[in-house]
Every structure is written in C-alpha cells, then in structure tokens.
A = this chain, B = another copy of it.
Amino acid sequence: MTTEQLTEQIKKKKSFLCIGLDVDLNKIPQHVLDEEDPIFSFNKAIIDATHHLCVAYKPNTAFYEAYGIKGWKSLEKTIKYLNEKYPEIYTIADAKRGDIGNTSSMYAKAFFEDLGFDSVTVAPYMGKDSVEPFLAFEHKHTIMLALTSNEGAFDFQTKTIEGKELYKQVLETSKTWKNSKNLMYVVGATKAEYFADIRNIVPDSFLLVPGVGAQGGNLQDVCKYGLNKHVGLLINSSRGIIYASNQTDFAQAAANKAKELQQEIEVILNSHSEE
C-alpha cells in the first residue's frame, strides 16, 4: 500500500487508529480457548468488530512465536484474513528485526512477500546495510525504531552522540539511505515532548505511535506536534482495546473502546483540517 492510499483511508474513516493484535492466551476470554485456533478466532472477532474504526492492525510477532508453530499458523491466518476480507486495511508486522544484509533480505522476503504484510518494524542499531534490504521493496514500508515508549529508551536513544541525541542521529542518517521514502518511524506516545523536534527532522514521514493507553501516553499531546499535511500519524493501542472485556462481549467491548479513540481522533482531524 502507498502512503497516499493510507492517507486516503484515514480521511475516509476519520481515524488513524492502529489496533495491536498482541494476543496472550492467558488474557483472552475462557470460551474462546475452546475454539480450534483460539488466537485466530480472537483476532477475527476483534477485526470484524473494529475494522471500520481503525486503518491498521499490528500483530506483534513475539506473541505468535511464543506459541511456536501453532502461533505462526495463527499469524498466517490472521494476515491472510485481513488481506482477503479487508484489503483496504494497512498491516504492520511488529517484529523489530535487523541483521546483516543477506539476513535482513530473508526477513524482508518473509514478512513482505510470503506473509504479505504492508510494513515491518526494524531496529536501527546495525545501521544502513541492515535496513536497506527492507527498503528495496516497492509499496512496502519499513518502520524503524527511533524513540521508543519504554523506560529503557533513556539508556541510549536520548543520549547525546556527536552533538545530537542518538534518536535524532538515527532519523537524520536514515534519510540518506537508498529508498528512504519507504521509511516510517516508531515514536512512543510517552515521549510527546519530543514530537516537535522529530517533526523538524522528518516533516513528511508517517510516525507509528505506541504507548497510548496502557503505557500512559496522551493522544492530544502527540497530535499537537505530530500531525503533518498527510496526517502522518498512526496511533496504536493494543491492550487497552483488545482486552476491554474478557467475557463473551469482548469484541463489542473492544469496538466500544476503539470507537472512543476514533471519535477523539475525528475531532482532532476536523480541527486539524481547518488550520
């Protein structure tokens, strides 16, 4: 999917919500566990109930790998279901991969071609030749960690490196890489005070913003500096939506939570387009 198609979908749905499909069998409703493939059944119900309220889904691959082959089957079924039933939806494999060139190519092939995701998250530590193999895929996005939502972001990311914080070096350096137009960046909602600086460096890029909800990030603060002329934001919520209820009404409860966020986003989008 192109950036333009994503922006179009956002404007049409009045939403830049991304729902994180981080399925933990210890947290899903008891009755779903009786299904043949509980993870897929759970995802399917959540997707059917929320697809009109969001523009993207983001399964974190850790939650699927944790269940071995069974988990990978659930992931494959989930992405296949999304691509077939809701092709307008943008999909993100939250995998945080990154390796030497020939190995990154294997990961890129797996997520973009075999599984059919629109995008994959990657880690920047190994530099240019670990990310460029992902960028080589046309109409696919590579979403690089810049400033993450967790406490550990302060260990290295915000440290000053040759006069500039590491996450800023990562943003600036990555702009020089081949096919850098295919980059998006992860910036945590818990770091809202950094968004103005980030927008100065990457004014046109989409930012994937986790950390609204369970991790405590504030939507208004993020949007104040994060929105750009293409909207440029995907706000992710995982646990706050998918675990809204662990009873038989879980899908409806998730939809209600997603609707709350979508409505908040709609107000923001309306006032943004008037500016």
A: residues with CB less than 8 A from B are: 22, 24, 60, 62-63, 65-66, 68-69, 72-73, 76, 96-101, 103-104, 106-107, 109-110, 114-115, 123-131, 145, 148-157, 159-162, 166, 169-170, 173, 215
B161 touches A156 (CB 8 A): yes
Integer count of this chain's copies in the complex: 2
User: Provided the pairs A68-B115, A161-B166 are in contact, do residues A127 and B154 lie with their beta carbons within 8 angstroms?
Assistant: yes
Closest to A188 in B: B100
Cβ of A115 to closest chain B Cβ, rounded Å: 7
B66 touches A73 (CB 8 A): no
Chain B residues within an 8 Å CB radius of A63: 103, 106
Complex Cα spacing A155 to B169, Å? 9
Partner of A66, one of B106, B129, B130, B173: B106
Chain B residues within an 8 Å CB radius of A97: 62, 96
Q: Which 9 A-B pairs have the closest CB atoms?
A: A127-B152, A127-B155, A161-B161, A62-B106, A66-B106, A129-B152, A128-B152, A100-B150, A66-B110
Partner of A127, one of B60, B151, B170, B173: B151
B160 touches A166 (CB 8 A): no
Complex Cα spacing A152 to B97, Å? 15
A130 touches B152 (CB 8 A): yes
Closest to A60 in B: B103
Chain B residues within an 8 Å CB radius of A159: 161-162, 169
Chain B residues within an 8 Å CB radius of A150: 100-101, 126-127, 129-130
